[in-house]
Amino acid sequence: MGEIMKKLMLDAPGKRILTLGDEAIVRGGLEAGVNFVTTYPGAPASEVADAFMEVSKEIPEIYFEYSANEAVASACAWGGAWGGANSIVCFKMLGLNVAADIVQCSNYAGTKPGSLVIVHAGDPGLISSTNEADNRDIARHMGLPIFEPSGIQEAKDFMIHAVAMSKKWDLAVLFNFNTRLAHSMGDIELGSLEALSNVSPVGKFKSAKSRYIQAQAIGLENHRRLHKRLKKAKKWAEKNEAGLNKIVPGAESAKVGIITGGMSYGYVLEACNLLELDDIPILRLGIQFPIAEKTVVDFSSNLDKIIVVEEMDPFLEDSIKRVLFDAGIKLEIYGKDIYKRGVLPISGEFNHDIVTKAIMKVLPDAKPKIDISTITNKYSKVKGGLAQRMASFCAGCPHRATVYALKKTLNDAGISDKAVIGDDIGCYALAAAPPLSMGDYLICMSSGVGIGQGLAHRINTSDQPIFAFIGDSTFFHSGMPALLNAIYSNADITLIIMDNRWTALTGHQPLPHTGVNSLGEEMDPIKLYDICRSMGVKYIKVVDAYRIKTLQKVFLDCLNPKNKGPKVVISTRECNIQVDRRRRRAKLPEEIEFRYQIIPERCERCDECTKVFGCVAIRQDKDENGVEYYYIEEAKCTNCGVCKDVCPNGAIVETVLIRPQI
């Protein structure tokens, strides 16, 4: 067990430890007695689930699983709650779209006798996502109270209160946070783990058809019950006994105040310090729904202007406008730039610079104690002087070889400008990036095959053949229904399943075919070939991803008019990072080691290995005479050997190093 896990499991109230925000959330869950955790991994929430997985190995009372997708994870977590557990389901914001059906319907029924918290990570600035989805409006629509911490300590403390609220008011709770909190580091004060010691690994389901059978009259009554429970939760939030809503008092004569929440609260404090606004009152809303209306009204009653500071959608802003309108309070509200008094952007991640400038627009007399433009200009100069780092496949990544093989096939067939390539979400999304640049669309998980089959029924696939990428994790997540539909409708499309046996992009979580379960225990893998065959796919080929020439033959065969209809190519090779990790853990001496090198006399410097294939282990340099040459950087090379097949001049050869025994 790692040092971080040991710290998270300390039963030492009052002790302070250093953690990531994600880990602080886990500690809060432990202190709240959470004993049932499900997830579909997605950055920036992956570390929350991964830490729970490590903890569950040491505490058998905690059930943990990596689920097939977010809907399955949510249904499973609800089952845990109905069996009496304190459940958590964890995913990134895009996962709520997948889980919407089960969450909407199950929250009508409630969580009793257990509790359920949806640990939900947002991603302002698109650091690891394809959109910035702000799900607070969806959560309100579903009747989910919204907790949003503003720092590391609150990430732990708010989780305890979220579990308590769910248990008390029979409501699932949305625990909302973002990338900046997830990956920030700070110290937290530990509480007691007594609640965890009181939970039982075995529960009991008590039938209650008047709640759980969500049909017609029962569903209607459950909807009424939901709103009654929300009213009670609202009164609890208004009392603020847990201190989740916080007021930083300003001067009694202040006429401008700020209302904020989440990580924006920290930016507001920094901005006010920079502008020396010690007299400005600040209301930080830790519970954003149900909103504490009386608190908002009392805070605003003597003000002329309010600045609402929140990332992404104007969720708080719209709620505050409604509350103040109903209360008959007229004042100027400044917020998002989609409105008349907009001073803040509706997209992208905030920082203290953005918030400082927004406040200065409302308070033009406020002057920063240091020149902001000087800092901004210095940063711009530094940023402008740095070489841009392009995203790239790792050295030895099997996906690079697969994409390259397809590109070569289409080039050789003279149809590279005609073929349609559907990319998807995962490591292989980099297929669309230079130098391979193989992707005509990249939207969301399983959209490669989903959109591709729609195109297949619209365009002439003999003239424009369609290939779609999908990863093994995405295939299990939502790709199987899409493939089934393609089979059912006889869509002329080739689905390339990139099988590296792990959910690699989010931290190498296991899959049903990895050969280990959620806790790393050995199990019989479920074979992708068997799944595709059982679904009715007639054309299935399984190829080693490192065998470029074999892949090219298979892709060329997919273009044969005789093979019209749905086709599946499973390009398989385990993620090289995992292979290397196992080798390092084993610490086995290598007497014989295969290596690859470039013979300078044969190298024509055609750039096939670098600018076309894009191997990151092949480098350029100049000798003492200024003559350019290529070499393989041993520290980066993983010995995949694909470069040998890629080189058209036979300049890359395999050598054998015999290491002496020590």
The domain 245-384 having CATH identifier 3.40.50.920: the answer here is yes
The domain 589-658 having CATH identifier 1.10.606.20: the answer here is no
Give me the chain's average pLDDT, please. Answer: 91
Structural contact between residues 531 and 537, judged by C-beta atoms closer than 8 angstroms:
no
The two beta strands, 173-178 and 146-147, are: parallel
Whole-angstrom Cα distance, residue 120 to residue 99?
A: 12
Averaged pLDDT, 258-269: 96
Residues of the chain with CATH 3.30.70.20: 589-658
Mark out the alpha helices in 9-109 (DSSP H runs): 21-32, 46-58, 70-82, 95-109
- Report residue 388's pLDDT band, with 50, 70 and 90 as the boundaries: low
Integer CA distances (angstroms), 363 to 298, 318, 324, in order = 22, 22, 22
Whole-angstrom Cα distance, residue 265 to residue 311?
A: 10
pTM (predicted TM-score): 0.88
- Report residue 626's pLDDT band, with 50, 70 and 90 as the boundaries: confident
What dihedral do alpha carbons 361, 363, 369, 373 form, nearest 10°?
10
pLDDT at 662: 43
Residues of the chain with CATH 3.40.50.920: 245-384
Closest CA to 284 of 268, 297, 304, 271: 268
- Could you report the per-residue pLDDT of 97-111, keeping only the tens digit for each? 999 999 999 999 999
What dihedral do alpha carbons 16, 17, 22, 26 form, nearest 10°?
-70
pLDDT above 70 as % of the chain: 95
CATH topology of domain 398-579: Rossmann fold (3.40.50)
Residues of the chain with CATH 3.40.50.970: 3-239, 398-579
Whole-angstrom Cα distance, residue 148 to residue 190?
A: 20
Burial class of residue 133 in the structure, from the number of CB atoms within 10 Å of its CB (0-12 exposed, 13-18 middle, 19+ buried): middle
What residues does 257 pair with on adjacent strands? 306
- Report residue 196's pLDDT band, with 50, 70 and 90 as the boundaries: confident
Residue 382 has pLDDT above 90, yes or no: no
Residue 326 has pLDDT above 80, yes or no: yes
- Could you report the per-residue pLDDT of 491-545, keeping only the tens digit for each? 999 999 999 999 988 889 999 999 998 888 899 999 999 999 999 999 999 999 9
Query: Chain-centre distance of CA 414, in angstroms?
Result: 38
Pick the CATH number of 3-239 from 1.10.10.10, 3.40.50.970, 3.40.710.10, 3.40.50.300: 3.40.50.970
pLDDT at 130: 85
pLDDT at 591: 53
Amino acid of residue 514: T
- Report residue 385's pLDDT band, with 50, 70 and 90 as the boundaries: low
pLDDT at 321: 97
- Between 305 and 657, residue with greater pLDDT: 305
